[in-house]
Structure 1
Amino acid sequence: MTANQEIDSILQRGADGGRITPEEALLLYTDAPFHALGEAADAVRRRRHPDGIVTYLIDRNINYTNVCVTACKFCAFYRAPKHSEGWSHPMEEILHRCGEAVDLGATQVMLQGGHHPDYGVDYYETLFSSVKQAYPQLAIHSIGPSEILHMAKVSGVSIEEAVLRIKAAGLDSIAGAGAEMLPDRPRKAIAPLKESGARWLEVMAVAHRNGLSSTATMMMGTGETNAERIEHIRMIRDVQDLAVANGYTDSAVEAEGSVGGFRAFIPWTYQAENNHLKGRTQATTLEYLRFIAVSRLFFDNVSHLQASWLTTGKDVGQLALHLGVDDLGSIMLEENVISSAGARHRSNLHELIWMIRTAGRIPAQRDTLYRHLAVHTTPADDPTDDRVVSHFSSTAMPGGGAGRTELPLVDVS
């Protein structure tokens, strides 16, 4: 209970699973007392996930090229076509990195890269089918709507044809990449050459209709207003309403008794190094945590909420577990894009499990579709592989490098 009856009523309705409006979400974000807001969000988590489990994933982000024509102002990773520092990995190198990931227990790869001017649908068909043939046990959770629009344009085909072809080639799930900020004003300010937020969501709707579920993301801290942050999640929720109403599923999600569409929402904070924005992150820790809680209350139709310890830090990631979060994301064996912009947070498997357990939750390794692969009910159930560390091969982090024969433990202190 708070001193404001209107806020009390909204918090109670949201905690009970009722729908709150964008206007009400904005009021909670700006005015609700922090502890009351967090308590209501955690009530949603407990109702949705009464087993007390918080999940994690082992995966690898493999970038096939840094050549890109989009030139987003917040990106430190891309190089323009014909730039001397531009590169594209041969298929042999991509498969080598997939093999390293499998050896370390990864169940998923994220294949992501720039909008290369020569890469159409056929490139991605070859990429996905080659990975699937060599490592059928790996789920390919990759690319985003921006890449799909780009490949369709290069190949001169429709969005739907592009989606169907890359799904047939082996794509299992679409990442929330490229969302950044969906409302028009902030999106044009940071990525003027990219598609509109409405167009981004249109591609997601096409994917959902054709049996590919996905995640949704948001980048906070590039100068957007509080109202624009709420508008971002409103746009996503509307598209998810369509998926729920039409029963769009992929077969694996359906087997779990859940709707497809967006499986999870993942907000993260802008990293300010080595890019054209050159600004300090506008989203403070408190703003991020408040938004996490509001998102859990607002998304009555999205199952999972993930904290971004990579951009906010492990202490903030752990605190988010008390504000509605049920997933801590991945021990990313490789990550170059956000790290290139200044994200320096690293972890290892043992520490991630410790973060979950000391928050009073039960750690569990999951797969791409949030199915539990191993539940660590007690410390005796914990994995023992000391090699599973984040960023062991990142070119953007000190000490990184692909193809190591020995993978030393990271000093996570």
Structure 2
Amino acid sequence: MPGAATRTLGVVTEHREIDEILQRAADGGRITPEEALLLYTDAPFHALGSAADAVRRRRYPDGIVTYIIERNINYTNVCLTACKFCAFYRAPKHAEGWVRSLDDILARCAETVELGGTQIMFQGGHHPDFGVEYYEEHFAAIKKHYPQLVIHSLGASEIVHMAKISGVSTEEALRRIHAAGLDSLAGAGAEILPARPRTAIAPLKESGERWLEVMEQAHRQGIESTVTMLMGTGETNAERIEHLRMIREVQDRTGGFRSFIPYTYQPENNHLKGRTQATNVEYLRLLAVARLFLDNVPHLQSSWLTTGKDVGQLSLHMGVDDLGSIMLEENVISSAGARHRSNLLQLVWMIRDADRVPAQRDTLYRHLRVHHTPADDPTDERVHSHVSSIALDPGGRTSLDLADAT
């Protein structure tokens, strides 16, 4: 075959069309949505992973895989949108609804700093009383007391909601919360972007097109973001690829998405009741196709919190260059059954055992500490991911220690 000696991949498939698409994508060429769907459904698993890993190696030849230490502060579980996959929310005036005080939130920020965290995610429900002013007050207070923390928080859905409550445009809402201290938008609320599956699971949320429009507004104001995808709520394979297409189209215009983060639906305590779920193989294949298709999104992060540490480690051979976070607090997806936990030492080992070089990063994916050898590894055993509210008690024990003691 002419040019075979210069091809990135050393293996070929028995399917000529699939082989050509894989080779082109591995060499840095762009593939179409139709080609991405064919790879997702029909490409041999190992050939697909090899092509995705070739893209990762070309982008990151140093072999570094990153992680971050962060905290997800859930400020309220009161929400108007009643998404069918969510086990966290409570309707307004529900007896189990709550709102965290500002003092409580600042205490959680203090713990984050003490444990070496660099970023907080500030996420909660669409509370009927929380307009732009609420977020301005809270972001300004966090920045005043803990200026070293990056506020990587909210998503387009919260922006739409707060703008409506305050009677302002989403552009103005973005300007105001950015000025108050928001550094970066999370990909929250993307769920699944195509209309049919989105309407089925989140009928009260804005459309996928509107979600992306707000993200584009943020990017044009200099507010970068991540973008997510929720798999396993009944969407088709074609709709999964359409989600990727919609992301790539916006990214072509703005370049504002730092990373793509797919995660899997968790089946407990919600209206969907696990009737549809994504398998681990479906998840790994989606990661690989995303690395090949999203040629304009720099980073690809896997979600070991929803799939488990074993799948998280396998994902590092499917084009992934970031293993997410040691999340010092998480209460949303854990309420739906995601209870995979890790500590910092385990996460570093997962990366190294996959023949990669672990490195702690910041929100912008800059390397803070590269663990070239085991001698460079962190030693603070208090740094755990938590399915809990408080990471440290006054005696310095972690909530894992407290759980083990009961």
Q: How is 1:10-409 mapped onto 2 (pairs within 5 angstroms)?
A: 10-244=21-255, 261-391=256-386, 394-395=388-389, 403-408=393-398
Q: What is the DSSP-based 3-state SS (H/G/I as helix, E as strand, rest coil) of the residue aligned with 1:343?
A: coil
CA deviation vs aligned residue, 1:304-350 (integer Å, no higher than 9, x gap): 00010000000000000001000000000000000000001000000
- Asked whether the 8 Å contact 2:392–2:398 carries over to 1, the reply is no
Tell me the alpha carbon deviations over residues 350-369 of structure 1, each in whole angstroms, 9 at most, x when there is no partner.
Answer: 00000000000000000001
Aligned residues: 391
Tell me, in whole angstroms, the C-alpha distance in 1 between the residues paired with 2:394 and 2:15: 58
Is the CA contact 1:97–1:403 (under 8 Å) kept in the aligned structure 2? no
Distance 2:267 2:324 in 1: 22
TM-score (norm. length: structure 1)? 0.93
Q: In structure 2, do the counterparts of structure 1 residues 238 and 80 end up closer, same or farther at CA, with 3 Å as the change threshold?
A: same
SS of equivalent residue, structure 2 residue 290: helix
Q: Is the 8 A contact 2:392 2:399 kept in 1?
A: no
* Unpaired stretches in structure 2, ≥5 consecutive residues: 1-11
Query: Is this contact kept in 1: 2:184–2:225, CA < 8 A?
Result: yes
Whole-angstrom distance in 2 between the partners of 1:276 and 1:401 = 30
* Amino acid in structure 2 at the alignment position of 1:324: G
**Counterparts of 2:146 and 2:400 in 1: how far apart (Å)?**
27
SS in 2 for 1:93: helix
What SS class does the counterpart of residue 111 from structure 1 fall into?
strand
Report deviation, 1:405: 3.1
Which residue type is aligned with residue 235 of structure 1?
A: M
Confirm or deny: 8 A CA contact 2:120 2:152 kept in the other structure: yes
Indicate if the aligned counterparts of 1:174 and 1:212 stay in contact, CA closer than 8 A.
yes
The alignment yields a C-alpha RMSD, in angstroms, of: 1.4
Equivalent position SS for 1:302 = coil
User: d(CA) in 2 for partners of 1:41 and 1:174?
Assistant: 27
Q: What is the Cα deviation at residue 404 of structure 1? A: 4.9
Where 1:30 maps in the other structure, the secondary structure is: helix
TM-score scaled to structure 2, two decimals? 0.94
Percent identical residues: 75
Give the secondary structure class of the aligned counterpart of 2:337: coil
CA distance in 2, matches of 1:106, 1:191: 32
Could you list the per-position Cα deviations for residues 178-218 of structure 1 after superposition, in whole angstroms to 9, with x for gaps in the alignment? 01100000000000000000000000000000000000000
Asked whether the 8 Å contact 2:393–2:399 carries over to 1, the reply is no
Q: Quick one: which amino acid aligns to residue 180 of structure 2?
A: A
CA–CA separation in structure 2 for the residues paired with 1:88 and 1:362? 41
The aligned counterpart of 1:253 is none
Partner SS, residue 219 of structure 1: strand
Q: CA deviation at 1:238?
A: 0.3
How far off its partner does 1:401 sit? 6.8
Query: Letter of the aligned partner of 1:292 in structure 2?
Result: L
